[in-house]
Structure 1
Amino acid sequence: MAGHLMEVRARVDGTVQGVGFRNWVRREATSLGLAGWVRNEADGSVTAHIAGSYQAVSRMIERLRKGPPGASVSGIEVEEFAPASSFVGFKIVS
């Protein structure tokens, strides 16, 4: 299944704003060859839309469950989509 494409939207709750979470997500996603975006939400959560190989997306989800130093992830909700994105690179959006 490693060659199959996968696209997800992950909402991460906890202490995830003000700790460099979005920059960390962009670095991690880029290192895995993923495309998409990440943004802060008004409720204090962070949302990331991630597209790439099944293996890379799965690794990123596991990384999101832990977060960077200084963050404290209390939960994550992942919604899978049919792979259809045309994302190029990984961006921080507002």
Structure 2
Amino acid sequence: MARLHLLVRGRVQGIGFRATVFDYAVDLGLKGWVRNNRDGSVECVAEGPTDALEALRLLCRRGPPGARITSLDELAEPERGEFSAFHVQPTH
């Protein structure tokens, strides 16, 4: 089990990016959150099996239809076990 913190920049708001990440993360059995940031980016923290985190990372690199990713910052960390489910957080 591991933890992945992603920050996605580009055309990533107003196109269903958060909803896509949420649905995919739930399907993968991941725990954590996704949110829009006021600077126009989307941020995600997820915990779970490394193969599921890699699948989520690839989705965030590609994005849903209409997305244009200009950068993807990622930080892999040990799992902290602080989440019980995956959810959408309010804009930060």
Question: Normalising TM by the smaller chain, what interval?
Answer: over 0.9
**CA RMSD of the aligned region, Å?**
0.8
In structure 1, how many angstroms separate the alpha carbons of the residues matched to 2:87 and 2:23? 10
Residue in structure 2 matching 1:40, options 32, 36, 39: 36
- Give the structure-2-normalised TM-score: 0.93
Shift of 1:61: 0.3
Q: Do residues 83 (structure 1) and 79 (structure 2) align?
A: yes
Identity of aligned residues (%): 36
Q: Which amino acid aligns with 1:82?
A: P
- Give the structure-1-normalised TM-score: 0.91
In structure 1, how many angstroms separate the alpha carbons of the residues matched to 2:19 and 2:29? 15
Shift of 1:74: 1.3
Aligned length, in residue pairs: 90
In structure 1, how many angstroms separate the alpha carbons of the residues matched to 2:82 and 2:4? 14
Q: Which amino acid aligns with 2:65?
A: P
Aligned to 1:23: 19
Structure 1 residue runs of 4 or more that deviate by more than 4 Å after TM superposition: none
Q: Which 5+ residue runs of structure 2 have no aligned equivalent? A: none
